């Protein structure tokens, strides 16, 4: 027998309340302050660098995202590193916090389905992240126009918008992860630590671990040159388990029109190519489409896991 009524009834009410809560919480203010400061810093440094070195570049604006001046990393790598932190801050006590405040049973006794609670929490978090990212994007453009004295070109806009969308999906992965932990683990502090550990492993340690794993999986045979290619590809595959790697590839491809591939390229494949000539935007997106789908799939998988556990969870602790 089918359930009566829509499982999505009340989703928007919950999402808007969650978003309002996030917007007014001190936690969110602090973390956004951190992001804004680092972003402003990175952009400012990039502008300095661009002013010092620029020749003629059709995609000058995109350089704002990618150019780094030592020792600061570029804006894009800052985002890859910090946005998970934003998402975790928004999601780590999403479900277990309701149990802790003893509001869960009261909310579930309202005429809504359980589905709406989790959907609403995810949507509310995404809404806040979306607003924050859009603000950041607009600020960057504003700074760029002011300090470079140039309007962005249509290509700049298209590519950076695609980058914005990919960033939203990447942050969604981490939000889904944080929500999944908040469903699985009853104590908010523990779920925060669990999510932060995963973040540390994937953002910092994964690039150190993956070569070892790869060399164990497909060792290089010095007498077989093809084994070197295999080893490289295995290493890449292992590294791509981390959403941070996928996001890094997407960012490089979208923000640097002259890059051609995220994997190894043979000289024969480069024959006839104009080195340094920009690819059309759509072609760049096509190259990283698997990465974007991968991120999206990861987000869906984590959310579904959280959803599955949450639907079966006892209302009482």
Partner 1 sequence: MSTHVIEAKGLTKRYGAVPVVDGIDLAVEEGEVLGLLGPNGAGKTTTILMLLGLTETSGGTVRVLDKDPAREPLAVKRDVGYLPDSVGFYDNLSGRENLRYTARLGGLTTAEADRKIDTALARVRLSDVADRRVATYSHGMRRRLGLAELLMRDSRIAVLDEPTSGLDPQSTSELLDLIRSFAKDGITVLVSSHLLDIVQSICSRVALFNKGRIGFVGTVEELAGKVGDGAFHIEVTAENIDVPETAKRIDGVSDIRPAGKDTWRITAARDIRAELAKRLVERGGSLTNIDARHVSLGEAYNLFFKEARHEA
DSSP type of residue 13: H
Cβ closest to partner 1, residue 53 vs residue 103: 103
- Compute the residue count for the chain: 317
Binding footprint of partner 1 on the chain (CB under 8 A)? 1, 3-5, 9-10, 13-14, 17, 21, 24-25, 101-103, 105-113, 314-316
- Please state the closest distance from residue 130 (CB atom) to partner 1, in A: 22
Identity of the residue, 28 or 40, whose beta carbon is nearer to partner 1 in the bound complex? 28
Backbone angles phi, psi at 209, to 5 degrees: -75, -40
Total Cβ atoms within 10 A of residue 129 = 23
Q: Which is nearer to partner 1, 3 or 154 (CB)?
A: 3
Residue placing its CB nearer to partner 1 in the complex, 105 or 293: 105
Half-sphere exposure of 16 (CA within 13 A, CB side): 3
For residue 93, the minimal CB distance to partner 1 (Å) is 13
Helices (H) and strands (E) in the chain, counts: 14, 0
- Give the tokens for residue 60: 């000058």
Q: Name which of 10 and 248 has its Cβ closer to partner 1.
A: 10
Handedness of CA 220, 222, 224, 226 (dihedral sign): positive
Coil, strand or helix: which one is 5?
coil
Q: Which is nearer to partner 1, 120 or 235 (CB)?
A: 120
CB of 246 within 8 A of CB of 240? yes
Q: How far is the CB of 8 from partner 1 (least distance, A)?
A: 12
CB 107 → partner 1: shortest distance, Å?
Answer: 7
Beta carbons of 178 and 92 less than 8 angstroms apart: yes
Cα dihedral 224, 228, 230, 232, rounded to 10, equals 180
Q: Is 19 exposed, middle or buried (0-12, 13-18, 19+ CB in 10 A)?
A: buried
Residue (97 or 155) nearer to partner 1, CB: 97
* Three-class DSSP category at 223: coil
User: Which of these, 19, 32, 12, 36, lies nearest to 91 by C-alpha position?
Assistant: 19
The least distance separating partner 1 from the CB of residue 102, rounded to whole angstroms, comes to 3
Q: How far is the CB of 19 from partner 1 (least distance, A)?
A: 13
The three-point CA angle 291-284-241 to 5° equals 15
Quick one: 183 or 234, whose CB is closer to partner 1?
A: 183
Shortest Cβ distance from residue 1 to partner 1 (Å)?
6
What minimum distance in Å lies between the beta carbon of 131 and partner 1? 20
């Amino acid at each position: 027998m089918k359930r009566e009524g829509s499982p999505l009834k009340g989703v928007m009410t919950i999402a808007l309340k969650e978003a309002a809560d996030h917007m007014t919480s001190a936690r969110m203010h602090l973390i956004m302050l951190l992001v804004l400061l680092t972003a402003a810093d990175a952009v400012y440094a990039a502008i300095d660098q661009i002013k010092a070195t620029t020749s003629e570049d059709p995609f000058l604006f995109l350089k704002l995202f990618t150019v780094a001046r030592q020792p600061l990393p570029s804006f894009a790598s800052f985002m890859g590193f910090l946005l998970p932190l934003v998402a975790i801050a928004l999601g780590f006590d999403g479900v277990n916090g309701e149990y802790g405040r003893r509001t869960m049973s009261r909310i579930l006794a309202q005429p809504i389905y359980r589905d709406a609670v989790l959907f609403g929490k995810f949507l509310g978090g995404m809404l806040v992240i979306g607003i924050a990212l859009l603000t950041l994007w607009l600020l960057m453009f504003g700074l760029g126009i002011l300090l470079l004295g140039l309007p962005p070109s249509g290509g700049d806009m298209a590519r950076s918008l695609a980058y914005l969308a990919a960033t939203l999906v990447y942050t969604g992965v981490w939000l889904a992860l944080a929500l999944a932990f908040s469903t699985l683990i009853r104590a908010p502090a523990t779920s925060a630590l669990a999510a932060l550990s995963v973040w540390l492993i994937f953002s910092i340690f994964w690039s150190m671990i993956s070569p070892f794993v790869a060399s164990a999986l497909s060792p290089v045979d010095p007498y077989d040159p093809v084994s070197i290619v295999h080893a490289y590809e295995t290493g890449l595959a292992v590294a791509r388990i981390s959403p941070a790697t996928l996001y890094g590839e997407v960012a490089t491809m979208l923000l640097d029109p002259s890059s051609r591939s995220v994997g190894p390229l043979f000289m024969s494949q480069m024959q006839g190519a104009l080195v340094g000539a920009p690819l059309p935007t759509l072609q760049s997106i096509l190259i990283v489409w698997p990465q974007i789908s991968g991120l999206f799939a990861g987000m869906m998988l984590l959310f579904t896991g959280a959803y599955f556990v949450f639907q079966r969870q006892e209302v009482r602790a």
